[in-house]
Chain A
Amino acid sequence: MSQEPQQSSIFKVIGASSLGTLIEWYDFYIFGSLATIIGSQLFPADAGASALINTLAIFAAGFIVRPFGALVFGRLGDLIGRKYTFLLTLVLMGGSTFLIGLIPSYSSIGYAAPILVLILRLIQGLALGGEYGGAATYVAEHAPANKRGFFTSWIQTTATGGLFLSLGIIVLTKNLVGAESFADWGWRIPFLLSILLVGVSIYIRMKMHESPMFSKLKSEGKVSKNPLKESFNNKANFKMVLLALFGATMGQGVIWYTGQFYAQSFIENTCHVDFNDSRYILLWGIAFATPFFVIFGSWSDKVGRKWIMLAGMLLGVIFYRPIYQIFLDDTDVTKIEQKDIASVSDPVVTRTVITGTADSLISTSSTVTLLNGASFQKIQSHTKFADAGKPIVELPDAYKDKKLSTPVFWKFVFLIFFQILLVTMVYGPIAAFLVELFPTKIRYTSMSLPYHVGNGVFGGLVPFIATLIASFSGSTPLSGLWYPIGIAALSLIIGTVYLSNKKPDHKEAESENI
């Protein structure tokens, strides 16, 4: 085995692995982006049992199934090899996505439709659980020892790349077929299109060779006979699995989800920033920050992985609350003075009958434009009772569709960029870190589980737990941040105290160290 593989060869390996992983993320995201339309097409209008299935499909596939996928496919990867296992995850993911696009509507096949969605979503979750570990392991085992961080960091960029691709294809399809047709049948196109992308990726991956390290193990007859037992029943290895989870991936997961998902949700739902503005802010932030995955991954080859990852967690712990406070302050329109207002549109009055009563909700809406270019919609509402004897009840004013002034827009882009920069610090080096923590013969199994528990469970639950904390009495809009801050702080302490910062040995001869 050559110590320094050909540059063109390693870039082919990275390209094939990254493309597949990017498509897996694409497949995973389009369901979330189109959940409302899918719900209206494949689920009955009344809630009932379908609401349960829907909850399971969205909730379980995201959290519960991924770690199981990590175990199932990790084991396979350590038994039969990396190449065929993550080829299988790609086929399962792409096939499930394609089939979701073909499921007849609820009006055609009744409850079979939501049940089929649930089954395919579970397969998607399992496949995603198996994909990442395979891709990271495959790339790392091809990379020279002193460049593992650099090469595996390309895999790390695919999560944001998949998000970009899914948003892009959805927007493009919607514009091409029109909003009405998109809601009717056009939403299937992004799902069906997946098969083309998967086909290309399978073709490329089929031409790749097995990882040289795994091939060597196999030729020497040293492949693990029971990777699950060796990973979790062997104290020396299991203690490293726990250390990886609590000292690194747990913190990485919450930083990842806070920076990329909670931030957008907060700006849109808590600050009530306009739908397009909130997305453009995120897209600019991701675009500026994505190259840093590779920069930090590469830097970790020189200074070690530990302190870069922990610095990302520390900065999150310190800066999350001030950042989100700025989001709140800069979108607080209740303190605007009359002299700052450029114009107020004519009011539009709407009357809505309150369901089940003869009472009405009267809303008066007007658009306020400020001298600095910002604007927002102000809605004043009151309830008018059918019984004339009851007094009118005034409701608090509501503000929505806030369009930001140009300086505030770019300030928000910077704050999102900064948060995603922290994501790149914790996420860029972590694939190489995990790969280096475990021996080749049980690596796929050992690294996949802590990664998916950390990322999928701790990270994936950020929206749920943050909302839960915000529901506590006495909570403020910033209270939900205590969850990612607390978890990141815990991981920071454990990582600081227990992890070692081994710098890659640039003279390491891989063939001697399997």
Chain B
Amino acid sequence: MNGLKKALGLLWIILGPVSIIFMFMQAFEKVGLAEEGVHKTNTALQWGIILFIFIPISAGLVIFGWYALKGEYDKLPDDDSL
């Protein structure tokens, strides 16, 4: 299982930037297609918000993948938190 955790880590590292690139492409396309005026500004605003919030999430996915690749999740700490 630990081998799988590490191997999948690489996938998460790749998935982070790929998803952001895909979202940027979609943003350009959809804003370009929107009618001029308020509709275009609204579409740009919505995509701006989405990119603003998804860029850190994708960065988190890359970090998650990096931790997985480094074996940080091989053994989770026993839950002694409570």
- A interface residues with partner B (beta carbon < 8 Å): 47-48, 51-52, 55-56, 59-60, 63-64, 67, 140, 145, 148, 213, 235-236, 238-239, 242-243, 245-246, 435-440, 443, 453, 457, 461, 464, 468, 493-494, 497-500, 502, 508, 510, 513-514
A440 contacts B45, C-beta separation under 8 Å: no
Interface status of B21 (Cβ within 8 A of chain A): no
For the complex of A and B, 10 pairs with smallest distance between CB atoms: A242-B64, A439-B81, A51-B38, A500-B76, A47-B38, A502-B79, A55-B42, A239-B67, A498-B73, A239-B72
Q: When chains A and B are docked, how far (Å) is the Cα of A258 from the Cα of B67?
A: 31
Report the minimal beta-carbon distance from A492 to chain B, rounded to whole angstroms: 13
CB neighbors of A among B13-58 (8 A): 26, 30, 38, 41-42, 45-46, 49-50, 52-54, 57
14 A-B pairs besides A52-B41, A502-B79 with CB distance below 8 A are: A60-B49, A63-B49, A239-B64, A242-B63, A245-B60, A246-B64, A440-B81, A440-B82, A461-B50, A468-B30, A494-B12, A497-B4, A497-B5, A498-B68
Given contact pairs A55-B46, A246-B61, A437 touches B81 in the complex (Cβ within 8 A): yes
Contact A514 B82 (CB under 8 A): yes
A56 & B45 in contact (Cβ 8 Å cutoff): yes
Distance in angstroms between the alpha carbons of A213 and B77 in the assembled complex: 21
Nearest A-chain residue to B74, judged by Cβ:
A498
In angstroms, how far is the closest chain B Cβ from the Cβ of A279? 27
Chain A, Cβ-Cβ closest to B75: A500
Q: How far is the CB of A207 from chain B (nearest CB, A)?
A: 25
What secondary structure prevails in chain B residues at the interface with A? helix
Q: Is the CB of A59 within 8 A of B49?
A: yes
Give the Cβ gap from B1 to chain A, nearest Cβ, in Å.
7
The CA of A464 and the CA of B46, in the complex, are separated in Å by 10
Measured CA separation A284–B51 after assembly (Å): 37
Answer whether A457 and B57 are a contact pair too, CB < 8 Å, given A55-B46, A64-B49, A497-B4.
yes
> Does any Cβ of A come within 8 Å of B8's Cβ?
yes
User: A440 contacts which chain B residues (CB < 8 A)?
Assistant: 81-82
Residues of B contacting A514 in the complex (Cβ-Cβ under 8 angstroms): 82
B8 near A242 (CB under 8 angstroms)? no
Q: Which of A52, A245, A438 contacts B38 (CB 8 A)?
A: A52
The contact sample of 12 A-B pairs, CB cut-off 8 A, is A64-B53, A235-B72, A239-B67, A242-B60, A246-B12, A246-B60, A436-B81, A461-B50, A464-B50, A493-B8, A497-B5, A513-B82
Contact in complex: A63, B77 (CB < 8 Å): no
Contact status B45-A52, CB under 8 Å: yes
Which of chain B's residues have a CB closer than 8 A to the CB of A453?
57
Interface centre among A51, A213, A514 (most CB of B within 10 A): A51
Q: Which of B45, B50, B79 contacts A436 (CB 8 A)?
A: B79
Bound Cα distance A502, B46 (Å): 40
Q: How far is the CB of A69 from chain B (nearest CB, A)?
A: 14
A513 CA / B80 CA spacing, docked (Å): 6
A155 to B7, CA, bound (A): 38
Decide if B49 touches A497 in the complex (CB within 8 Å): no
Which residues on B sit within 8 Å (CB–CB) of A497?
1, 4-5, 8
Q: Are B63's CB and A236's CB within 8 A?
A: no
Q: Which residues from chain A contact B61 at a C-beta distance below 8 Å?
A: 242, 246
Q: Which residues of A contact B68 (CB under 8 A)?
A: 498
Cβ B60 vs Cβ A513 within 8 A: no
Chain A residues whose C-beta falls within 8 Å of the C-beta of B81 in the assembled complex: 436-440, 443, 513
- Nearest residue in A to B43 (C-beta to C-beta)? A55
- Residues in A whose Cβ lies below 8 Å from that of B63: 238, 242
Assess the A436–B82 pair: CB atoms within 8 A.
yes
The complex places the Cα of A243 from the Cα of B60 at a distance, in Å, of: 10
Residues of A contacting B79 with CB < 8 Å? 436-437, 502
A60 to B49, CA, bound (A): 8
Query: Taking CB as reference atom, which chain A residue is nearest B54?
Result: A457
- The complex places the Cα of A498 from the Cα of B68 at a distance, in Å, of 9
Contacts of A500 in B (CB 8 A): 76
Residues of A within 8 A of B12 (CB): 246, 494
Which chain B residue lies CB-closest to A458? B57
Task: A242 to B12: give the CA distance in the assembly, Å.
Answer: 12
Residue of B nearest to A48 (CB): B38
Given A64-B49, A246-B64: A435 in contact with B77 (beta carbons within 8 A)? no
The interface centre, meaning the residue of A140, A213, A238 with most chain B CB atoms within 10 A of its CB, is A238
